A and B are shown apart, each in its own frame.
Chain A
Amino acid sequence: MALTYTPREQIEVYRFSLPVTIIVPLLAVFLQAFIPLRFPFFSIFDLPLLVVIFFAMARRSQVAGLVTGAAIGLLQDSLTHHQIGLYGIAKTVVGYGASSLGVKLDVESVGTRFLVVTGFEVIHEVIYFSIAHGMVRLNLHWNWAHELESAFANAILGVFLFGLMDRLKDRA
């Protein structure tokens, strides 16, 4: 797994068309809500998180990253029965972090993508559980084995998904 540092002047910044910016996050939230009904194991994945990471790393703008994360997170929150903001805050932080990392690393390589997704999945869950437990008093049970399994599963899916979504990028 090659993890390479990219000088700032060599960084390529991408943008996305408006339909892609709107439809892809909606599609991710839709599939996340729909597929587990037919394939329960799919709930281990977090498609909206993968989309947040991908957009944030490709745009390489921290403000755009956090806005994308907040919007997708709040949309995801709206479909649950919990208070709105749990996923919103977690994905805001992930969006900001992923775009910050995108400025410094070569996020086009498979190895980087795998590690970045694994790391951010764990960070996302830690933030979610902290807020859910600390603010909303949800009695969630933290299970390291399950979280790591979920992180690796998302990382593998992310590598393939990012490869597909690369086609949607326009060079800025």
Chain B
Amino acid sequence: MGRYRNVSFLAAAIFLQILGLAVQVKRSSENQPSRLIRVWAVSAITPPEKALVRIQNGTSDLWHNYFYLRGVRQENRELREQIEQLQLDQVRLKQDADQAHRLQTLLGFKEQFIAKTLAAQVIGSSGSEQSRTVYIDKGSRDGIQLEMAVISAAGVVGRVINVFRSTSQVLLINDQQSGVGTILEQSRLQGVLKGKSSGELVIDKIMADEEVKPGDRVLTSGGDQIFPKGLLIGTVDRIDKGPEFLQVSVKPTAALNRLEEVLVIVKKEEHEPVSTATGTRASDILAERLPSVPDKPAVAANAVPGSAARGAVPPKAVRIHPVAAGSVSQGAGQTKTPAAASSTTAKPITTAPRSTSGTTGTPGSKLPATTASNPVAAPSAKLPSPPNSKPLANTTPSQPQPTPPGDRPQ
């Protein structure tokens, strides 16, 4: 028996682990994840990771904020010029946004806003090429919950799959078990974005006869109920034609293998957009477009000369703004509207170049934590434009980009 002692130990160790795996495979189908050993492991590994990240950031901030200030004046001047240019752009974009709001109100669409985000620092990874996950330094005590969307300044990052007390595990969009509802900006084709074992992102199940061009922007469609509609994911990199389906390779805009700071969308709100033209009905718009006889000014019976103008009730002015004819004529429920044109007024997330004061939402992080009063828009600044809109039969109501309430017309 002594001869087989070691082999027996080996067999027992393997048997026990296989048994454990079998139990987990069964339990995972019942949505009961095994936790305890993960909690121990994460508790052992993440504290030094957090400490190291803080030391690294502190050193970097010290260097960049106090010692290495070469070129700061020049950069400041350039940034001021950029602000002026952006202010001009903002005025123009606000007009577009106002128009979009009015259209959405008319069509009864509901907007999905990112009401609150939480900045978090990426502190570690799984350490495995087969498991593309990262750990962030925010957990349940910070309000993180399962299935919350995680984004960065550049684009979509992933979703929360495990929440611990002070850390959370985020499944990146390029993992094999990840899936994100997507829409191509130009062609308006929808699909599910998945990761491959190599870490590449692909959209499959697009019919081979569809036209997809490299460089087309890929946005979230909102269909997965995790990511709000209109967030930028990446651009089409390559298209491989199969006999039935296209395989569209996507290049993510977020640097998924070099993440440092991310934003967790902790609260989403869905409500109808507020329009300046309240009370304006579709019939009013049509009436405005059709030729009509101008109203006669009402004159008081006993009006004295000269007072006619004062006593006259002028025709009720309905402020009509230019309307994209294509959008209106398509009708609600069948329209790919200029979804989320409101986002054009949204303030893009700006990652402060190593630190500016006032942008730090949470200690140790470079991204601002935001609330509804100071919302952060989704990373995608530009959204589908009306001319490219195509009718689509089963389109869900548009859930456009978040817009800071202050930017919305009241």
Contact = CB atoms under 8 A, between A and B. Distances in A.
A37 to B, nearest CB: 6
Interface residues of A, number: 47
Contact of B45 (A29, A66, A88, A93): A29
A143 B130 CA distance: 13
A83 B13 contact: no
B22 A135 contact: yes
Interface string A80-122: 1111111111001100100000000000000000000000000
A63 B9 contact: yes
Interface in B11-51: 13-14, 17-18, 20-22, 24-25, 28, 34, 37-38, 40-42, 44-45, 48-49
A36 B123 CA distance: 11
B362 interface: no
Contact of B9 (A26, A36, A62): A62
Contacts of B20: 84-85
A62 B197 contact: no
Contact of A81 (B41, B48, B177, B198): B177
Given A33-B126, A82-B131, A93-B14, A131 B177 contact: no
A3 interface: no
B134 interface: yes
Given A33-B126, A66-B9, A81 B161 contact: yes
A153 interface: no
Nearest to A140: B197
B171 interface: yes
Contact of A82 (B13, B49, B130, B258): B130
Contacts of B198: 141, 143
Contacts of A80: 126-128, 130-131, 133
B176 interface: yes
B18 A36 contact: no
A141 B45 contact: no
B391 interface: no
Contacts of B38: 78-79, 84
Nearest to B161: A81
A81 B259 contact: no
B162 interface: yes
B21 A92 contact: no
Contact of B13 (A78, A92, A136): A92
A83 B21 contact: yes
B44 A85 contact: no
A34 interface: yes
B267 to A, nearest CB: 25
A101 to B, nearest CB: 13
Contact of A37 (B18, B45, B258): B258
A128 B131 CA distance: 13
Interface centre among B21, B40, B49, B134, by most chain A C-beta atoms within 10 angstroms, is: B21
A23 B197 CA distance: 32
A70 B12 CA distance: 12
A84 B176 contact: no
7 contacts: A37-B125, A37-B260, A62-B10, A66-B10, A75-B41, A86-B21, A141-B196
Interface of A: 26, 29-30, 32-34, 36-38, 40, 43-44, 48, 62-63, 66-67, 70, 74-76, 78-89, 92-93, 96, 128, 131-132, 135-141, 143
Given A74-B17, A85-B24, 19 more contacts: A30-B45, A33-B49, A34-B49, A37-B122, A37-B125, A37-B134, A37-B258, A75-B44, A79-B38, A79-B42, A79-B131, A80-B126, A81-B162, A81-B175, A84-B20, A85-B21, A87-B128, A96-B6, A136-B25
